[in-house]
Amino acid sequence: MRVYFDASVIIAALLSPSGGSSLLLKYLKIGKIVGITSQTALDEILDKTVKIQRSKEDIEQFIAQSGLIVRVRITHEEILPYQGVVDPQDAHLIAGSLLTKCSHLVTLDKKHLLRTDIQERFLPLHIVSPKEILQEMIS
């Protein structure tokens, strides 16, 4: 299973070592899933170092040890097909998920991505929360 990670899930894993997002990264380390993100998502995380109270070096080390495959930044041209379809701030996630041939996009963004209309629009890509993908993996 190839899973594209939104910045929100990576931040949640960084802040809560016992939560579902962190458990997903543990599955990544043992090879149960392939985890992918992009430099675009990592830039979002690094822009929030003060808010999440971690240094840039701590965050970079966490990412390096996570086992995530980091794709280059998503370009404006790659985002264009999704402009006007999803929130402009989230278009890079759809683009990245599809460009890296992921079966799932895992996010905590209920307002823009974890909505039925958006989830249905991008099938067969499964846009899910950490809880939903963990339940799918167990069953």
Task: State pLDDT tens for residues 50-70.
Answer: 778 888 899 999 999 999 999
In CATH, which superfamily holds the domain spanning 2-138?
5'-nuclease (3.40.50.1010)
* Average pLDDT of span 132-138: 94
- Domain spans of the chain, in order of start: 2-138
What is the pTM for the complete model shown? 0.94
**Cis previous bond, 124, omega within 30:** yes
Q: How far, in Å, CA of 102 to CA of 1, rounded?
A: 8
**Which pLDDT score is estimated for 138?**
86
* Average pLDDT of span 84-106: 96
Strands across the sheet containing 104-106: 69-71, 34-38, 2-5, 104-106, 126-128
* Residue 33: both structure tokens together: 């899933």
E strand or H helix at 4: strand 2-5
> pLDDT: is 47 or 72 the higher one?
72
Q: pLDDT confidence of 71, banded at 50, 70, 90? A: very high
Three-state secondary structure readout of 54-109: CCHHHHHHHHHHHCCEEECCCCHHHHHHHECCECCCCHHHHHHHHHCCCCEEECCC
* Average pLDDT of span 13-38: 95
Residue 72 · residue 39 · CB < 8 Å: yes
